[in-house]
Amino acid sequence: MKTKLTLRLDDTLVEQAKTEARRRGKSVSGMVAEYFGSLKARPQPPAESLPPVTSSLAGVAKDHSLSIEDYKSYLRAKHQ
């Protein structure tokens, strides 16, 4: 079953997509479908394959509740 999908894009981007579709001999819808299909085909790396530094930081702040204001305050202090 095919379903219609409406996308709202900048006019320039739409023209670029149409130009690329013509160059490839495809429709814009076909290119979008291929792109979304490729996302599912990409294997997601397991968490244990993260670089050591990233693995050591994963979940470090999960038990802390910080607000946007806390973060802005930290940045102001850091860059004074």
| Phi/psi-derived region of residue 59, left when phi > 0, alpha when psi is between -120 and 50, beta in every other case | left
Q: Is residue 11 part of a domain?
A: yes
Domain with 34 in it: what CATH number? 1.10.1220
Q: Is residue 27 part of a domain?
A: yes
What distance in Å separates the CA atoms of residue 16 and residue 73, rounded to the nearest whole number? 41
Q: Is residue 2 part of a domain?
A: yes
Q: Is residue 70 part of a domain?
A: no
Looking at residue 30, its pLDDT comes to 94
Q: Is residue 49 part of a domain?
A: no
Report the amino acid identity of residue 50: L
Q: Is residue 50 part of a domain?
A: no
Q: Please, what is the Cα angle at 77 between 74 and 80, to 5 degrees?
A: 145
Looking at residue 71, its pLDDT comes to 85
Question: What total of structural domains would you count in the chain?
Answer: 1
pTM: 0.50
Q: Is residue 54 part of a domain?
A: no
pLDDT tens digits for the chain (80 residues)?
889 999 999 999 999 999 999 999 999 999 999 998 888 877 766 666 778 888 788 777 777 787 888 889 989 999 98
- Domain range enclosing 36: 1-44
Q: Is residue 72 part of a domain?
A: no
Looking at residue 48, its pLDDT comes to 67
Within 8 A by CB and 6+ apart from 22, the residues are: none
